Chain A
Amino acid sequence: MGPVAFSETFERIWTMAISREEVRHVARLARLELSEDELARFGGQLDAILEAVGKVGELDLSGVEPTAHPLDLVNVWSDDEPRGSLSVAEVLANAPDSEDTFFRVPPA
């Protein structure tokens, strides 16, 4: 498994201010084009968020199981019975562009 878990990335970055390069990286992953000004502005906002979440790190959580979900529930699932789909007209109603019954997007 190559990819790094979010939590590991998270632990690494919440202990220090987020760098401009990291903001640029995250923006690129989300296909957002940010100007230098925006990189600085969003970097500051992300810092504030990370700092707030980082408060959790001040607690002693050694005996606490990670919370996968705030509700204390397991095994919520449904039977494998079809319930109908949308009409093609409905499906494509909000599509900026379409061709036949396909969504059309810029070349990937």
Chain B
Amino acid sequence: MSWQPVIGLEIHIHLKTRTKMFCRCELAYGLDANTRTCPICLGHPGTLPVPNARAIEWTIKLGLALGCEIADRAIFHRKNYFYPDLPKGYQISQYDEPLCRHGRLLVPGPEVDAEVGIVRAHLEEDAAKNVHVGGAAGRIHGAGRTLVDFNRGGTPLVEIVTRPDLHSADEARRFLQLLRQTVVELGISDAEMEKGSLRFDVNVSVRPAGSDELRTRTELKNMNSFAFAARGIQREVDRQIGIYEAGGEVEQETLHFDPDHELAPPLRSKEEAQDYRYFPEPDLVPLAPPRQLVERLRKEIPEPPGARIRRFESQYGLRFYDAEVLNGSVALAELYERVVSAGVDAKAASNVLMNEFARTGVEPGAVDAVELAKVIEARARIPRDRFNEALAGSGDPGFDAERYLGDGLVVETSELEPLVERVLAANEKEVAAYRAGKRGLLGFFVGQVMRETGGNADARVVNELLRTKLDA
């Protein structure tokens, strides 16, 4: 029997506002603990939360970018649970009246596109950061204890819940990459997993291909990169298929991913049903996003990265994978489009940008596309080394392609001849082998000659010269 994976995601993204969600403490990362806290984010009695207008705007903006309906009226709820990272004993979140719902994100793929439904995108506050030290398992001696830093407590957090519309580990990875790119390009989040400003959980189940049933799902937590997530999902899919094929049943459980061992060992089976006792937050009045605001924000939404990939394929005749790589950042995509509009062939531009240019590590946003276009156009005329040097310098201020394109750098054909002869004389064995039919050795000779010239020769001329001599 063949099986289809059914994957849904729940993603949390920190908004990079200047201040927290419900107080005006400055948001800061990496400062000493508890240096950006106040009575509101410490949950002192008698304080009142005041929502951050920018966080609300940005959540609406993200909702629009995800094709969501923006609610005429949204409210905040209290989600009650007891833990030291939550000084009030509840998190202010949204429940059945979120800001955004019913969206979709196009995830282009090599063969088929996925259209991933967005159930909701809502706004909430993040919890504080707990540091567990000591105890039996800890590295620090002494009694086990938990240290709490409330600097992160109250950071605006958007939660995005997808429908289980993803059907492979690769598709899930692509979705996450596009979503991350979307929020980065909207300018509302750094979405960096290392800093914890992007976190996600994955729900996984499988079903017989062709059916539309939803079987028991497991939840994967603690994913620390998209690549690990893809591997974790694949492993979990295989595990579930194995269970069903052996006649067993998958149990609902939460699996914590361990990147060191790449295992997803069961943590707790049959978790106690959560009971958050949601109720409307009485300290906050409802939100009613004004229509003009929503329309203004709608106009500010840039072309979504998924749509841009599609456009690159059709407009420039690129393969899916090339279009995907070129759209890895908006800066690279823009540079590509400018280089092509400066007259460079679409395929050539894509090859150079994805290979030689990418290897230089030059920041695409710093490059003058017209100058870079000149370099790419000259790639067949100038020596390899020069070409790479030019690419490496293309991000420097005032970069001038002409400096690299001068004729004087290429060793003249008349000077090449003796060099070629010297190389052939020094490699008699290889010459004999070539003449006996090992044509692949031509590249070896070209390399030798290029080395003699310090790379300053036209490879095509060297090629021709060598052929003439060898085939004579």
Contact = CB atoms under 8 A, between A and B. Distances in A.
Interface of A: 2-7, 9, 25, 29-31, 68-69, 71, 73-86, 88, 91-92, 99-108
Given A68-B285, A108-B83, A102 B131 contact: yes
B37 A91 contact: yes
Given A5-B95, A77-B56, A103 B286 contact: no
A80 B55 contact: yes
Given A3-B274, A69-B285, A78-B24, A105 B19 contact: no
B18 A80 contact: yes
B112 interface: no
A3 B144 contact: no
Contact of B148 (A31, A77, A84, A103): A103
A80 B17 contact: yes
Nearest to B128: A103
A7 B24 CA distance: 32
B278 A3 contact: yes
Contacts of A81: 18-19, 24
Contacts of B75: 68
Given A3-B276, A102-B147, A107-B144, A82 B34 contact: no
Interface string B275-288: 11111101011111
Interface of B: 17-19, 24-26, 32-39, 42, 50-56, 73, 75, 79-85, 89, 95-96, 130-132, 134-135, 144-150, 273-280, 282, 284-290
Given A68-B285, A86-B37, A102-B34, A107 B277 contact: no
Contacts, number: 143
Contacts of B285: 68-69, 71, 73-76
Contact of B273 (A2, A68, A80): A2
A104 to B, nearest CB: 6
Contacts of A7: 279
A100 B149 CA distance: 11
B80 A29 contact: yes
A6 B90 CA distance: 13
Contacts of B17: 80
A52 B287 CA distance: 30
Contacts of B32: 88, 100-101
A80 B56 CA distance: 10
B19 A82 contact: yes
Nearest to B75: A68
